[in-house]
Chain A
C-alpha cells in the first residue's frame, strides 16, 4: 500500500515537474522514487500482522506474492526508464509521459494485491487508460493515432466484458470479495446457477484481451507496431506481467475458481485458447518483415506459455510464472533497447536494417543474440529454464498435448528469432549507417545480458524466493 501511495505521489510529482521547472532532475527523481518504492515493497515481506497488510476494508491485501510481483514490475520499469530516458527527453511532454507510465504502474501494482473484484476492475482500468494515451502519443503519425484508437475501443469493449462478468459473479455469489466468494463456492458448488459460469467466461475474455491471448489478440500487432517503440516495450513487459498476475490471483493460489467443478469448466477452455495462441502467435510472427510487429506476435506466443502454466494448475505454477516473467522481461528490455538504437540509426524497424550488425556494432549484435536465444528458449539462458518450468508443470498435470504443441511452435519461434541473428552475422550491412550507442544504453545492455545468462546458470536465485511464503499451496493433484 505504501508502495502504491509512493508511486502515485511520484507520478504527481512528475506532473509538477513541468509546472515548477525541475524537468532536468526528473530522471534522477524517478529512479530514486522507483528504488524507494522497491524498498517499500520489500519491507512488506516481513510484515508480521498475522492477517497480512489489508487496506481499503480488505479489498487489497499486500501479501508475499504481491511483494515479489511488485518488485518484478518496479524493477522492469526502472530498467525501462534507463532505456527510454533519451526518447522521453527528446519529446516535449517528458513529464506527462513519465507521469502516465507511473500511473499505469500503479494499476499494475494494484493487480498484484487485489482481493476484491472491484479492485480488479480498477486495477485493469488504471493500467490501461494511460497506455491508451501513450499509444497515441506521436500525434503527427497516423500509425500512432490508429494504434491508440484501436487499443482504446477494443480495450473499452474488453473492460465492459470484464465488468459484466464481475456483475454476473456478484449475482451468483452475492459478493465481490474473493475470500467470501471462495467459501461460498466451496459450500454451494453443486447448485451454482448457469450464469455463474457465464460470468467466469466473460471475466476470462476481458483478462485474455489484456494479455493478448488468442482469440482476443487482434489488437496487439497493430497497437505494438503503431505505438512509439518505448511504449511498446512497456506494454510487452510490465503490462503482460500485470495481466498474468491478475489471472493468477483468480485462477490459482487461494483463488475462488480453483474448486474442482469450476476448474473442470475453465481449464479445457483456457487450454484451447493456449493452443490457439501458440499456433497463431508463432506462425504469424514467422512471416513478418517489421521487427516490431514480429515482437508483437512473439509476445502473444509468450503469453501462451504463461497461460499454459495457469492451465497446468500445479503447485509449481507460481514459481514458473515468476521466473518466466523475469526472464521474458529482461530479454525483452535488451531486444527493445537494441531495436530503439536500430530505428534511431536507420529510420525504420524493417528486418533488413539488422543486416551486418555483427560487423558494424558487435556489442549490439552480441547482446541481441543473447536476448534472442533467451526468447527462443536455448540453454544456458534464462528463457530456456522459463520454458522448461512451464513445460514441466504442464506435463506433470497431464497436458502432454499442449506441451507438445508448445514445443513444436517454439521451433517456429527459433526460425523467426534466428532470422535476425542470421541477418546480423551473415548479410552485408547497408552503406553509410553509423550506430552510436549511448553510455547509458551500453551499461543497460551489458547488465541485462549478463543477468540473462546468470539467471540461466543459477535459476535457484529466483526460485528459492518463493520458499518462504505461502505461494506454494499444495493443490490436490
Chain B
C-alpha cells in the first residue's frame, strides 16, 4: 500500500499540475514533494519499528496482475536497499523544487509536472520487483528529463539532449533484450505464461541460462547501467548534457537519475548473472577504476565550474561502481555494497548542493568560468562557508557524509585488490585537488569586477544550502539509521548471490 502510494502521489500531483497554471504551480509542486517526503519518512519509521508480520507485508508489498497475457505484474516492494534510495529521491525533489523557486520559467506548470512525473518514475524504478515494470519505469524516467532539457536548456540543447536520449535508449534496449531472454527461460506459471517476477528471473538467470547466454545478459545489463551512471567509456554524453540542462534538470540527472544505474547493478545484474560476474567482474572493476582516474584528471583541467562538477560526478560514480563490482562472489563480504548504497545517498546530496552553488555563482557573476571569478568570500562570507561545507562533503572529509561512503567503498575494494583500491583511492587526493583549487580560484583571492556585484544570499538560497549542509554533516556524524535499515537486505542479497554460484 505505502509503496504504491509513494508512486501514486507524485503521479496524481503531476496530473493536477498539468491542468493548473502559472504562479501557483511551484507551490503545489513543493507541497506535493514535501508530502511525498513525509510519506517516505513514515515508511522509514515503519520499516524500522514494525515487526515483520502480515500487516508489514501488506503495507510494503503490492502485487497485482497487470498484463496477464505475458505474465507482467504490478509488483512493487520496499526493502532496506530501496528505502535508502526512495528516501534520497523524496528528500532531494523538494530541495530541487525549492532551489528553483526564484527562477522565472516559461510555462511553469508544465515544468513542475515533468519534475513530479519524473519523481514517480524514479521511485518506481527503485521499488519495482517485476522485470518488465522495472524496464517501463526506467524508460519512463527518460522522457520527462528529455523534455526538461529540451524546453528549458541552454545552447545547442537540441543536439545534446538528443545524443543523451539515443545513447541511453540504446543501452536500455539491450537491457530489454536481455530481460526477454531471461524471461523466456523462466518456468511457465499457472496462468500459462512465463513470469517477470524478480525471484523467478533470478532463478532463471542463475540456473537456466547457458554460459554464453548469461554472459550476454550480463553485458547487456552492464551496458545499460554503464551508460546511465556513466562509466568510462560510455560517459561522453554526460558533460555536455549536464552543462546544457537547466540547473534543476542537472540536479535531477546527477542527484537521482544516475543512481538508477548503480541500483540496477546491485538489484538486477549481480544476482541474475553471478557466474558471468565471477568471470568478467574483475575486468569491469578495472574499467571503473580507469573511469575514476580519467574523470578526476579531466576535472582538474576544466575551466567551467559546472563541467568540473560533472566530471567529478563521473569520478565518484566510478568509485561506487568499482565498490559494487568488487563484490567477492566466493566470500560475500558486503562492505562494498554497503559503501555503495551509502555513497549513493551522500553523492546525491553533495552533487545537488554543488550544482546549486554553481547556479548561484552564475546568477550573481554572470559566468561560470573560474578564471574570471575570485574573491567572492569577501563579498559573501556566508556563501563561502556553506560552499566549503558542501565541498568538504564531496572531498570526503571525515565527519561529512562523503567520508562514510568512501571509506566503506575503499575498504571493500581493498579486500578485493589492494592495487585497485590504491589507484581508486587517488580519487580522494585528486578530488581534493580540483575541488580545493576551484574553491581557491573562485572564492579566495582578490575580488574583481565580475564578482564585486555578488549579492547576498537570498532567503531561498540560504534555506536550500542550509538543508544540504545539514544533511552533509548529519549523515557524516550519524549515518547509523541508513546503515541499519539496509544491513539485513544487503546481507540477504549477498547470500543470494554467493549461494547460487554454480562454478566454484
Contacts and interface: CB of A to CB of B under 8 A. Distances in A.
B284 interface: no
Nearest to A415: B166
B67 A459 contact: yes
Given A378-B143, A391-B180, A464-B69, A407 B136 contact: no
Nearest to B183: A392
A380 B136 contact: yes
Contacts of B184: 392, 395-396
A407 B157 CA distance: 26
B177 interface: yes
Interface stretch (A137-145, A205-213, A418-426): A418-426
Interface string A372-416: 010000111000100011011001100010011001101100110
A414 B169 CA distance: 9
A51 interface: no
Contact of A463 (B69, B139, B166): B69
B162 A422 contact: yes
Contacts of A460: 66-69
B150 A407 contact: no
Contacts of B68: 460, 464
Nearest to B137: A379
A463 B69 CA distance: 7
A319 interface: yes
What secondary structure prevails in chain B residues at the interface with A? Answer: helix
B466 interface: no
B169 A411 contact: yes
Contacts of A422: 150, 158, 162
Given A422-B162, A425-B151, A378 B180 contact: no
Contacts of B180: 388, 391-392, 395-396
B441 interface: no
A418 B67 contact: no
Given A378-B139, A396-B184, A426-B158, A319 B69 contact: yes
A379 B166 contact: no
Interface residues of A, number: 33
Contact of B67 (A404, A407, A425, A463): A463
Contact of B166 (A380, A407, A414): A414
What secondary structure prevails in chain A residues at the interface with B? Answer: helix
Contacts of A414: 165-166, 169
A378 B69 CA distance: 20
A418 B165 contact: yes
A404 B177 contact: yes
A410 B170 CA distance: 9
Interface string A129-168: 0000000000000000000000000000000000000000
A189 B180 CA distance: 35
Contacts of B174: 407
B287 interface: no
B177 A395 contact: yes
B143 A391 contact: no
Contacts of B176: 388, 391, 407
Contacts of B66: 460
Nearest to A392: B180
A464 B151 CA distance: 39
B173 interface: yes
A136 B82 CA distance: 61
Contacts of A458: 67
A372 to B, nearest CB: 12
Please tell me the size bucket of the interface on B: 20 to 34
Contact of A395 (B139, B143, B181): B181
Contacts of A415: 162, 166
Contact of B173 (A373, A407, A464): A407
Contacts of B173: 407, 410-411
A392 B69 contact: no
Given A379-B136, A380-B140, A407 B177 contact: yes
A302 B135 CA distance: 23
A391 B177 contact: yes
A172 B481 CA distance: 78
B70 interface: yes
Interface in A108-144: none
Nearest to B216: A400
B136 to A, nearest CB: 5
A373 B143 CA distance: 10
Contacts of B136: 379-380
Nearest to B69: A463
Given A378-B139, A460-B68, A418 B162 contact: yes
Nearest to A385: B67
Contacts of B143: 373, 378
Contacts of A426: 150, 157-158
A411 B170 contact: yes
Interface string B131-142: 000011001100
Nearest to A419: B162
B162 to A, nearest CB: 6
A400 B210 CA distance: 15
Contacts of A427: 158
Interface in A350-381: 358, 373, 378-380
Interface string B168-203: 011001101100110110000000000000000000
Interface string B79-120: 000000000000000000000000000000000000000000
Interface in B47-83: 66-70
Q: Which of B151, B157, B180, B181 has the most CB of A within 10 A?
A: B180
A464 B170 CA distance: 31
Contacts of B170: 408, 411
A15 to B, nearest CB: 43
A378 B173 CA distance: 10
A425 B107 CA distance: 13
A228 B176 CA distance: 39
Given A395-B177, A395-B180, A396-B184, A411 B166 contact: yes
A427 B180 CA distance: 38
Contacts of B162: 415, 418, 422
A464 B176 CA distance: 23
A412 to B, nearest CB: 9
A466 to B, nearest CB: 9
Nearest to A467: B69
A408 B143 CA distance: 19
Contacts of B158: 422, 426-427
Nearest to B184: A396
Interface string B454-497: 00000000000000000000000000000000000000000000
A389 B72 CA distance: 13
Contacts of B69: 319, 459-460, 463-464
Contacts of B135: 379
A415 B66 CA distance: 31
Contacts of B166: 411, 414-415, 418
A408 B172 CA distance: 11
A282 to B, nearest CB: 13
A418 B167 CA distance: 13
Contacts of B67: 458-460, 463
A223 B421 CA distance: 63
Contacts of A373: 143
Given A392-B70, A460-B68, A403 B177 contact: yes
A361 to B, nearest CB: 15
11 contacts: A378-B139, A378-B143, A379-B135, A411-B166, A414-B165, A422-B158, A422-B162, A425-B150, A458-B67, A460-B68, A464-B69
Given A407-B173, A459-B67, 17 more contacts: A378-B139, A378-B143, A379-B136, A391-B177, A391-B180, A400-B181, A408-B170, A411-B166, A411-B170, A411-B173, A414-B166, A421-B150, A426-B150, A458-B67, A460-B66, A460-B67, A464-B69
Interface of B: 66-70, 135-136, 139-140, 143, 147, 150-151, 157-158, 162, 165-166, 169-170, 173-174, 176-177, 180-181, 183-184
The 7 closest A-B pairs by CB, nearest first: A463-B69, A426-B158, A407-B173, A379-B139, A422-B158, A379-B136, A395-B180
